[in-house]
Structure 1
Amino acid sequence: MRTVIAGGHGKIALRLERLLAGRGDSAVGLIRNPAQADDLRAAGAEPVVLDLESATVEQVAAVLEGADAAVFAAGAGPGSGTARKQTVDHQAAVLLADAAERAGVRRYVIVSSMGADAQAAGSDPVFTAYLRAKGLADDAVRSRADLDWTVLRPGALTDEPGTGRVRLAPSTGRGSVPRDDVAAVLAELLTVPGTAGLTLELVSGDTEIGEAVRGLSGGA
């Protein structure tokens, strides 16, 4: 299985790339900075330098040709302003979806955020812009009839070691989750087609990850 991952040098993306490579899959990571290429190679992934804030749909589709799945795990990052929430968290996700459709890649998994909502309101303008951008991206992806999409909305992310146990459901309630476990859930989602068409929240819990994902699709 060949998977193209946007945001290939992010903490979740690197973990996902290691997991995919470890099970014998092919992982391609899209990065902006060529200096990050060795980190991707060390994770077992193929680095491709492509800036989703300036790339055309044709350029992205060319990378996606022949892939089995696309994962949007990019983000503007906590230090960025409101403008980059739009160009990365929203527009880059839509660009990847456009390119996936053009390249004939049906499986599309997007890492969103708990609380994502195009109409989000709050006292922190940057965080509100982030939630709105993620919500707009989710809405755009979910409108695609040509994509087998899954929207994954983790709770507060931590760098604690993964436990391998989560709560994964359309609504989980607030909570946190290690990035290790987010990556492991993504890897499982890519192998279970019955999870397409679902918007899922994710926090730490008591259910083994494989069981949690398979349970969503009736054990498929």
Structure 2
Amino acid sequence: MSPLKVAVFGATGRIGGRVMNLLIKSDAFAPPMAVVRKKEQVELFKDGATAAVTSIVEATVAEIANTIKGYDAVVFAAANFRAGGESSALLVDLDGCNKVVDACKLANVKRFVLISAVKAQDRDFWDVVPGFKPYYIIKNAADQYVFHSDLDYTVIQPGWFNENKGTGKMLKKQDLSKTESEQWPITMDDVALSVTESLQHPESTTRKVITLSNGDTPMAEAFKTF
């Protein structure tokens, strides 16, 4: 099988950057493409990768499609709620995601991996963290757009990020009744690893939602059997 050609939106972010590093290091993938907003960001991806300047806020769907044409898969790791607030998240996390979904259809890129948020479809959970309800509304709406597309999607819904060293392990049998935010810790390294595992195991992860928190099951094992 030929190495997968993957384009990453949000490649300069905390998760997207880690995804790029894993893609670059793995023989399972061709040199990935970082889709960036600014020309100066291209310089970040000189070794083992390429970069294309295409703003998901400013570009048309057709322009985005032209950027990703010929790729096997797209990863959407762009997020702007923390940095830009609700209005910026509407443009990036919601409409940006929707535009990339439409661009994938136009460019005939079927495989799509989205980084979402834990329990994004559970309205009873949205008030667990004060101030995050607008974020959850946006994430749920973006997820729904993906669910109703004809893409071969995997929606990864990680819990609360931390910068601890990656464990390579996850909680396979999720207790979705848990409502406390501290019940869903996940390292950013392991979120990135979940993306590459999803891409390598489409047979078990396509059209699936994967809730992600750290646990005892090796992720390389877990992603073979969802």
TM over 0.5: yes
Verify the 8 A CA contact 2:116 2:155 in the aligned structure 1.
Answer: yes
Determine whether 1:200 maps to 2:210: yes
Determine whether 1:159 maps to 2:163: yes
Aligned-partner SS, 1:190: helix
2 CA distance for matches of 1:85 and 1:134? 9
2 CA distance for matches of 1:75 and 1:168? 26
2 CA distance for matches of 1:88 and 1:107? 20
Determine whether 1:96 maps to 2:105: no
1:76 pairs, out of 77, 80, 84, with 80
2:117 pairs, out of 105, 113, 136, with 113
1:13 pairs, out of 13, 16, 20, with 16
2 CA distance for matches of 1:162 and 1:74? 21
1 CA distance for matches of 2:22 and 2:35? 17
Question: Cα–Cα, structure 1 residues 39 and 163, in superposed 2: closer, same or farther, change >3 Å?
Answer: same
2:36 pairs, out of 31, 37, 40, with 31
Question: Cα–Cα, structure 1 residues 124 and 19, in superposed 2: closer, same or farther, change >3 Å?
Answer: closer
2:195 pairs, out of 186, 201, 211, with 186
What's the offset of the Cα at 1:212? 0.9
Aligned-partner SS, 2:98: helix
What's the offset of the Cα at 1:168? 4.2
Verify the 8 A CA contact 2:36 2:54 in the aligned structure 1.
Answer: yes
- Listed one character per residue, the Cα deviations across residues 121-174 of structure 1 (whole Å, up to 9, x for unaligned) are 5397852111111100000001012x1011100000111110111124675553
What's the offset of the Cα at 1:186? 0.4
Aligned-partner SS, 2:12: coil
Verify the 8 A CA contact 2:54 2:67 in the aligned structure 1.
Answer: no
Determine whether 1:122 maps to 2:127: yes
2 CA distance for matches of 1:14 and 1:168? 25
Higher strand share: 1
2 CA distance for matches of 1:215 and 1:124? 32
Aligned-partner SS, 1:53: coil
Question: Cα–Cα, structure 1 residues 180 and 125, in superposed 2: closer, same or farther, change >3 Å?
Answer: closer
Q: TM-score, normalised by structure 1?
A: 0.90
Q: What is the aligned residue count?
A: 214
Percent identity of paired positions between Structure 1 and Structure 2:
29
Q: TM-score, normalised by structure 2?
A: 0.88
